[in-house]
Structure 1
């Protein structure tokens, strides 16, 4: 298993490519649900592009050193949304289908708690690994060698606030020097 390093510009381009794939499919959905935390950025950009409401389901399954140990998936008790009810045709998005368990279990969770409102759920991700038990309806890249994906926001997981403050202090000093 190799590692795949993704820059912010590549990450945003992948979200745009996912948006185009869904658009080209012609599917008329009326709700986006993203799985937090990995799918937050994907859901945010898609709801802006499609002008569709966004709902968020918080889920967690990774723990341990560098957040690389897959454990039992846990869901929040409620879906977060600003509309009174969930749409009937749901596009469920996440950043990747690694094991596929998060997507599979989230579909079950949505059907259990919102099944009376949902007619159809389709799934979309940026990356689909070969080891995934669920192949999403939409994905940008299929990864046959199952690499560990290093996403651009991961740096914040190991960065302390003291380190961040020190970085910004150096930036603030440089900015103040520009004004003198």
Structure 2
């Protein structure tokens, strides 16, 4: 649900899963065949997992981090992992890069540059996200929703940010 002022988008679990399914349909309808899904942790892990299951393709993971301060709401320095975790040894062939959103575009630009320069076995690289914000300098190959007002997206699992185990103990009275 987008707030009236267009500054916040609240997404339920059902909406989130529906958007992941719509992303899968867009990819399928393109006719593009790929060998591996590479998701960017953390935001791309959930859609990457869903797409991996739908397309029955191996899921590789690359860790990136820039939203750390203030429970993940302030973008800082971008860190990109030096290694990719993959069940097939080395990532190669046609790769679908998955993240949750193209926000500023900084992360996706940097990761694609790094992959093209350092992973020669990748023969083709395309990108997929759920949301693309209007201010993004990156245009993914596949996206479900374009958000021209650049709202802050409140994803359903963000309640765990800053929660800590002590709050779970309180919740479950353990």
- TM-score interval for Structure 1 and Structure 2 normalised by the shorter chain: over 0.9
Distance 2:116 2:149 in 1: 32
CA offsets per residue over residues 84-129 of structure 1, 9 Å max, x none? Answer: 2213111000000000111111111111221x20111110000000
Residue 82 of structure 1 corresponds to 87
* Contact residue 69 and residue 76 of structure 2 kept, 8 A: no
1:106 matches 2:111: yes
Distance 2:72 2:123 in 1: 35
Q: Kindly indicate which of the two structures has a greater share of residues assigned to helix.
A: 1
Structure 2 stretches lacking a partner, 5+ long:
1-5
Equivalenced residues, count: 169
Report matched runs for 1:19-168 at 5 Å: 19-114=24-119, 116-168=120-172
Cα RMSD (Å): 1.2
CA offsets per residue over residues 57-96 of structure 1, 9 Å max, x none? Answer: 0000113223222122111120011102213111000000
Q: Tell me which stretches of 4 or more aligned residues in structure 1 moved more than 4 Å.
A: none
TM-score by length of 2: 0.93
